Amino acid sequence: MSSTTAMEVNIEARRILAVSISKLYASRTQRGGLRLHRSLLLSLVMKSARDIYHSSRESEALSGAQSTPEEPMDTSSTPELPERQPAPLSEKNSSETAVEESDNKVEDYDLDTTEDKENLSPARQSRKRRGKASAAPDFLPNKRARLEPGEERYAAPLTSCRVGAGESLAILSLNQIIPAF
Amino acid sequence: KTIKLWKISERDKRPEGYNLKEEDGRYRDPNTVTTLRVPVLRPMDLMVEASPRRVFANAHTYHINSISVNSDHETYLSADDLRINLWHLEITDRSFNIVDIKPANMEELTEVITAAEFHPDQCNTFVYSSSKGTIRLCDMRASALCDQHTKMFEEPEDPNNRSFFSEIISSISDVKFSHSGRYMMTRDYLSVKIWDLNMETRPVETYQVHEYLRSKLCSLYENDCIFDKFECCWNGNDSVVMTGSYNNFFRMFDRDYRQDVTFEASRENSKPRSVLKPRKISTGGKRKKDEISVDSLDFNKKILHTAWHPLDNIIAVATTNNLYIFQDKLN
């Protein structure tokens, strides 16, 4: 993939992610209650966009970009996205409970913006686990809040985490990232 | 999340000439009655009445997407996003759960049930479709909980058509058995597929409803049209299938003659006794006269629901606010 088309795909993927997030947010206030099917489809689109975004970034990096592949959360690149708070997606994880309950979950998390990729295991990589809560936009702050105190619960060698830009960010599952915004 | 059974009846006569009541319903003073008469039935303007006969409640946690009455005329199924329940028409306070795809951890959810239907003849067989584009056929004789399907119908994805929206457009919005019971039809966002129940690997026929929308999926995602759930239907002898589209268009596919036609349901085109003119959408650069360009399609005018009379060539087509009934040209 040439770097221009990778860039176009990149922009497209980010735009689709932004649209998806606004739809998820809007669906919270919609009448008729949580629409499970629609939320699931939205999360699948987001995952698709995320995967394509990462693979286009990889090919950008491979085709001669200077920046290191392991870039931390690039919060400056899309300033409009972090403004979309609070998290509509946490409610998908508890679709039978009230929306207010998931609001409380959001407030409990503290913003942890430090990168801690070493402690994240590829076992939680979402490639196979195509759950609803698995798209992780990398331009949002990294939230580790859902990790248990003992992070070693997923036993995997630390070195295997360093698998490239796309993979390491794919490890973070949506249920970690999304509740924070 | 509640199911109600209604009786629909027509009334075109009413009794007149009661002895103890005036015509407006007020009671007459019995002392003023000097003669007796027998009330007679007089014609009146046709009135259609619906009265609820059964209420089946509290069995669904998620939004119900399908109801299907069994060929035994005693039971029916209702399906929501994650579960299918079996009811008896006479018993309103209990149902049996026959399919449950809810994962233990909702974060692991990957697909939902989108439609379900009983087989037209075999009262033990039903199918349900999923948001992933698969159809599962289940036999209730195999076990009480039909989580293990008897057959699974799935077509492998065409890798050339992969896009951000591949999952959404492969989600099945409707599944209908043919009258013969040999085939079933599924509708996804862009196509109609006919499956032979004996072959699980791919459909036997695929018809493109509005392929010109494939390049517009991003806009259709933004305006939410990509989530529209179109239905489909068979004609009485299973030779033609019909489904709706945008701009108040509906499409018919003749399976025997391999022809398809597009019609529009609108007031201007539908004076009584006038014949519907086939419409054409111009997909290429040049637009011929009478063709409609894709960009001028009105995506707010959509036909989601269509029905075909089981015996005659009479169809019902629902636009947003109107119901159209069309029939074969009378000679």
pLDDT class for A64, splitting at 50, 70, 90?
A: low
Burial class (CB in 10 A: 0-12, 13-18, 19+), A167: middle
* Min Cα separation B172/chain A (Å): 11
> For each of chain B's 331 residues, which pLDDT tens digit applies?
899 999 999 999 999 989 988 888 889 888 888 999 999 999 999 999 999 999 999 899 999 999 999 999 999 999 999 999 999 999 999 999 999 999 999 989 999 999 999 999 999 999 999 999 999 999 999 988 988 899 999 999 888 888 888 889 999 999 999 999 999 999 999 999 999 999 999 999 999 999 999 999 999 999 999 999 999 999 999 999 999 999 999 999 999 999 999 999 998 877 877 888 899 998 776 677 788 889 899 999 999 999 999 999 999 999 999 999 999 876 5
Is A37 in the B-facing interface, judged by CB distances under 8 Å? yes
Enumerate the residues of chain B whose CB falls inside 8 A of the CB of residue A131: 107-110
Q: Retrieve residue B49's tokens.
A: 């009445």
Residue A164, pLDDT > 90, answer no
3-state secondary structure of B9: strand
Q: What is the pLDDT of residue A4?
A: 65
Cβ-contact A74, A31 below 8 angstroms: no
Secondary structure percentages of chain B, helix, strand, coil, to 5: 10, 45, 45
Average pLDDT of span A95-103: 37
Q: Determine whether the interchain pair B106/A52 forms a contact, defined as Cβ–Cβ distance below 8 Å.
A: no
Beta bridge partners of B317: B306, B324
| pLDDT above 60: residue A149 | no
Q: Which residue of A19, A37, A92 is in closest CB contact with B131?
A: A37
Kindly give, in sequence order, each residue whose CB lies less than 8 Å from that of residue B108, ignoring residues fewer than 6 positions away: A129, A131
Helices A36-62 and A3-28, axial angle in degrees (round to 10): 160
The CA distance from B240 to the nearest CA of chain A, in Å, is 30
Q: Is B257 part of the contact surface with chain A (CB cutoff 8 Å)?
A: no
The closest alpha carbon to A166, from A22, A62, A90, A15, belongs to A62
Look at residue B272 in the predicted model and tell me its pLDDT: 77
Confirm or reject contact between B167 and chain A (CB < 8 A): yes
Among A41, A54, A90, A97, most B C-beta atoms within 10 A, so best to mutate, is A41
Average pLDDT over residues A34-51: 87
Distance CA B263, CA B279 (A): 6
pLDDT cut 70: percent of chain A above it: 33
- Cβ of A132 within 8 Å of Cβ of B107? The answer is yes
> Angle CA(A53)–CA(B212)–CA(B271) in degrees, nearest 5?
140
Q: Indicate yes or no: CB of B62 within 8 angstroms of CB of A36.
A: yes
- Residue A107: per-residue pLDDT: 35
Number of residues that this document lists for chain B: 331
Q: Quick check: A124 pLDDT over 50?
A: no
| Beta carbons of B247 and B292 less than 8 angstroms apart | yes
> Do the chains contact at A44 and B168, CB–CB below 8 Å?
yes
Q: Note which residues in 130-149 of chain A have CB less than 8 A from chain B.
A: 130-133
Between strands B240-244 and B249-254, the pairing is antiparallel
Q: Which pLDDT belongs to residue B310?
A: 95
Cα separation of B7 and B118, whole Å?
22
Beta strands B291-293; B280-282: pairing state: parallel
C-alpha to C-alpha distance for A122 and B13, rounded to whole angstroms: 75
More confident residue, B51 or A84: B51
Q: Do A132 and B131 touch (CB under 8 A)?
A: no
- Give Cα separations from B295 to B11, B216, B220, B232 (angstroms): 47, 10, 12, 25
Q: Is the pLDDT confidence value at A89 over 50?
A: no
